[in-house]
Amino acid sequence: MARSEHTFRRYKDGDYTYSSMGELIFEQDTTYKCPTYVNRTPPCQGSCPSGEDIRGWLSIVRGIEKPTSDIDKFEYAFYRSTDANPFPAIMGRVCPAPCQEGCNRNEVEDFVGINSVEQFIGDNAREKNLKFKNDAADTGKTIAIIGGGVGGLACAYQLRRQGHAVTVFDSHQKLGGMMRYGIPGYRTPRDVMDHEIQRILDMGVEVRLNTFVGKDISMDDLRRDYDAVVIAIGAQAGRNIPIPGGDAPNCITGVAFLDAYNDGRLKAVTKKVIVIGGGDTAMDVVSVARRLGHIETTHENDRPENVILNQTAQDVAITAKKEGAEVILAYRRPVDQMPAALHEVEAAEREGVELRGSLIPVAVVQDDAGRAIALRVSKADWSSGKMEVIENSEHDIECDLIVSAIGQGGDLTGMESLDNGRGLIDADKYFQVPNQQGLFVIGDIVRPHLLTTAIGQASVAAESINHYLTKTENSKRPKVDVHHFDLLQKLQETSLQPEAYPHKEDWGTDNSKFAVHNYEDRSSQEIIPADKLYLGHFANTPRNLRPETFIKAENVIDSYEERFSGLAEADAVKEADRCMSCGMCFECDNCVIYCPQDAVHRTSKTESTLGRYVFTDYSRCIGCHICADVCPTGYINMAMGDH
């Protein structure tokens, strides 16, 4: 959409008749409308799976919303960010950022680098060793969480903030789930991840590792011993290729491949690797395979599939002379339609991965020993919008290893009765298991998606669990179900809360101290689109990009340095300053400057806070609409007095 379509023009092409502004404004007002300040949710927050108050912490970093105590603004931004997501340093690195795709700034020039600012907030908090506050009184209630990935840990964090005791059970030697065992360390640095996990444990979370619920301890025991149970086991069982020959021993899943690599067992692959899929897991597999390189196998036990499936480890000595692996990614749709993050796709190509789109796997070609030696595929035509197999296009792609990254399921050993038939567990909108009192479920085991999705579900589940434990009804979930700015909470935080209501009749509340006047909160119902903003206010400002390490194909073997470095403090502030604060005042003074009646004034510093920066003198307002027309953020609506 062109930027000009959203730029306000008082005069349109063909308007050539001159008329007096006095007649138009001062004498001809017939609307009887005055400004109302309306808070809506920006699209970044509406599309954030964790439901973070993104606009809020960007506003803090840029210096608009001020801390109310003696902490600095970055610490204040950290606590605002982690109200929803306790992993800002990690998620700032690995989240594919649907928030940035939805950013209204895309209608000006380019989105705000939300991920990069979030990474800065998290890294700064780690450098300062910031801790989570936990001053909630103990409730005496106990919750068992099965799974120590981001979903389970985020749920533990939210429950401890409510005062409940939490024990996390995990089958691995270390916590982290897919964040540790499903994503390579150069994307989720282990020291950063461990620090953010420890911050949650320091709140008083008990942990039992190497404990598989369903084998080492039964679900019945947990449900008997704890007041509530949360299943957050993830979907760590990959799906095999559903084609003839797909059961060959050297056909493995992407989940198993990454688990073996992240566990330190897999140190090399084969000469020719084919990865099937186009999502983030597929991109991680191809990138890892290129980094590992291949060796001429000298022992059966060192074959990658045996290392992965038999839980053995390759001999370090045999990997000393590694050569580059030929890695091909085969995807059924065109390459430009792959769901993986664009920067991951570009990096994979740069690192020597061959991307082949519009290929449909038909069969796995096996040798006499039953091992896969080629993947048979057909070409597909998507020009009509649907897949049409091209006749006589079938051909073989030679390989030594096939990795399937086409979907995931869960290991429901000991919980078979909860299986919905797809290797997953059903949940209602409150993340309760249907017809199972006290049993809740979140994360990939509900529907495989993003790490941040599990974090968002953890917040909702923690609220639901609290209602269950306190025997109160679940409140209706809002249409826009994220963490919202709350003006009344902000007024209380700044000691500007309204006075007690005197319970007497009062006509007109604009001067009353007991009412929050001319403010409407639509944030739980509405996401503000770009056409509600005055985009002409915003100058083209280039993004402040994070430094990125560009690894070339010839240097990729054993190159495990982190891909993105963090922003410097000054650049983080400049990037946050590009936020257009959609749906909330960002104190630009346009309404004050352009009001022809001097009816809009700045609130005095002793009474001003975010969202209460200006007020309207209704004895002077004539309803000319200019303040609403020039408001960049769409915060002003001409509504009051409408009849």
3-state helix/strand/coil string of 367-427 = CCCCCEEEEEEEEEECCCCCCEECCCCCEEEECCEEEECCCEECCCCCCHHHECCCCCECC
Read off the pLDDT of residues 281-338 as tens digits, 9 standing for 90 and up. Answer: 999 999 999 999 988 765 677 788 888 877 677 665 555 567 889 999 999 999 999 9
Those residues with Cβ within 8 angstroms of residue 331's Cβ, 6 or more apart along the chain or in another chain? 276, 277, 278, 282, 338, 355, 356, 357, 358, 359
Instruction: Give the number of other Cβ atoms within 10 Å of residue 173's Cβ.
Output: 9
- Judge if 257 and 384 occupy the same domain: yes
- The pLDDT-based confidence of 8 (bands split at 50, 70, 90) is low
Q: 143 and 81 in contact (C-beta within 8 Å)?
A: no
Q: 288 and 521 in contact (C-beta within 8 Å)?
A: no
Instruction: Give the number of other Cβ atoms within 10 Å of residue 488's Cβ.
Output: 13
pLDDT at residue 30 greater than cutoff 60: no
**Of the ranges 24-38, 194-208, 230-244, 294-308, which one carries the lowest mean pLDDT score?**
24-38
- Judge if 247 and 395 occupy the same domain: yes
Q: Is residue 216 part of a domain?
A: yes
Q: Is 284 helix (H, G, I), strand (E, B) or coil?
A: helix
Identity at 261, one-letter amino acid code: Y
pLDDT at residue 501 greater than cutoff 90: no
Q: Is residue 51 part of a domain?
A: no
- Please report the pLDDT score of residue 589 as a whole number: 95
- Judge if 365 and 243 occupy the same domain: yes
Through-space distance between the first and last CA atoms of the chain, rounded to whole angstroms: 35
- Please report the pLDDT score of residue 236 as a whole number: 84
- Please report the pLDDT score of residue 571 as a whole number: 97
Between the alpha carbon of residue 151 and those of residues 88, 244, 433, the distances in Å are 14, 36, 16
Instruction: Give the number of other Cβ atoms within 10 Å of residue 174's Cβ.
Output: 16
Position with higher pLDDT, 237 vs 6:
237
- Please report the pLDDT score of residue 179 as a whole number: 94
Domain end residue (candidates: 407, 439, 454): 407
The CATH number that applies at residue 156 is 3.50.50.60
Those residues with Cβ within 8 angstroms of residue 96's Cβ, 6 or more apart along the chain or in another chain? 280, 340, 341, 344, 450
Average pLDDT, the chain: 90
Share of the chain above pLDDT 70, in %: 92
Q: Is residue 451 part of a domain?
A: yes
- Please report the pLDDT score of residue 643 as a whole number: 43
Q: What's the rounded mean pLDDT across residues 69-89?
A: 95
Q: What's the rounded mean pLDDT across residues 383-404?
A: 95
The C-alpha atoms of residue 583 and residue 442 are separated, in whole angstroms, by 31
Q: Is residue 98 part of a domain?
A: no
- Please report the pLDDT score of residue 28 as a whole number: 40
- Judge if 554 and 460 occupy the same domain: no
Instruction: Give the number of other Cβ atoms within 10 Å of residue 18's Cβ.
Output: 5
- Judge if 263 and 368 occupy the same domain: yes
- Judge if 154 and 282 occupy the same domain: no
- Judge if 435 and 530 occupy the same domain: no
**Number of domains forming the structure of the chain:** 3
**Of the ranges 104-108, 117-121, 374-378, 619-623, which one carries the lowest mean pLDDT score?**
619-623
- Please report the pLDDT score of residue 405 as a whole number: 94
The C-alpha atoms of residue 112 and residue 302 are separated, in whole angstroms, by 46
Read off the pLDDT of residues 109-125 as tens digits, 9 standing for 90 and up. Answer: 999 999 999 999 999 99
Share of the chain above pLDDT 90, in %: 73
The C-alpha atoms of residue 227 and residue 143 are separated, in whole angstroms, by 6
Q: The tokens of 631 are what?
A: 């408001």
Task: Give the range of the structural domain holding residue 333, as residue numbers without chain letter.
Answer: 239-407
Q: What's the rounded mean pLDDT across residues 410-439?
A: 94
- Judge if 244 and 380 occupy the same domain: yes
Q: Is residue 323 part of a domain?
A: yes
Domain end residue (candidates: 391, 407, 423): 407
**Of the ranges 262-271, 357-366, 459-468, which one carries the lowest mean pLDDT score?**
262-271
The reported pTM is 0.90
- Judge if 200 and 257 occupy the same domain: no
Q: Is residue 99 part of a domain?
A: no
pLDDT at residue 383 greater than cutoff 60: yes
Q: What's the rounded mean pLDDT across residues 65-94?
A: 95
The C-alpha atoms of residue 93 and residue 75 are separated, in whole angstroms, by 19
Q: What's the rounded mean pLDDT across residues 163-186?
A: 95
Instruction: Give the number of other Cβ atoms within 10 Å of residue 119's Cβ.
Output: 26
- Judge if 248 and 263 occupy the same domain: yes
Place of tokens 């979030």: 118
Q: What's the rounded mean pLDDT across residues 428-447?
A: 96
Q: Is residue 100 part of a domain?
A: no
Q: What's the rounded mean pLDDT across residues 388-417?
A: 94
**Of the ranges 26-40, 355-369, 387-401, which one carries the lowest mean pLDDT score?**
26-40
Q: What's the rounded mean pLDDT across residues 372-396?
A: 96
- Judge if 457 and 325 occupy the same domain: no
Q: Is residue 77 part of a domain?
A: no
- Judge if 533 and 421 occupy the same domain: no
Instruction: Give the number of other Cβ atoms within 10 Å of residue 405's Cβ.
Output: 27
- Please report the pLDDT score of residue 636 as a whole number: 94
Number of helices (H), then strands (E), belonging to the chain: the values are: 20, 21
The C-alpha atoms of residue 279 and residue 299 are separated, in whole angstroms, by 33
